[in-house]
Amino acid sequence: AQPSGIPTSFADLAERVAPAVVSIQTSGTVDLGAQPMLPPGFEEFFGGAPFGNPHGGPRRKHKSSGEGSGFVISSDGFVVTNNHVIENMDEIQVRFLD
Per-residue pLDDT tens digits for 23-65: 999 999 877 765 555 666 666 665 555 455 555 555 677 888 9
| pLDDT above 70: percentage of residues in the chain | 69
Determine the 3-state secondary structure of 18 from DSSP.
helix
| pLDDT above 90: percentage of residues in the chain | 43
- Residue 48 confidence (pLDDT): 55
Please say whether the beta carbons of 91 and 26 come within 8 A. Answer: yes
CA separation for the pair 36, 38 (Å, rounded) = 5
Q: What stretches of the chain show up as alpha helix (H) in DSSP?
A: 10-17, 42-45, 83-86
CB atoms within 10 A of CB 90: 11
What are the distances in angstroms from CA 16 to CA 9, 10, 70? 11, 10, 16
Q: How confident is the model at residue 6 (pLDDT cuts 50, 70, 90)?
A: confident
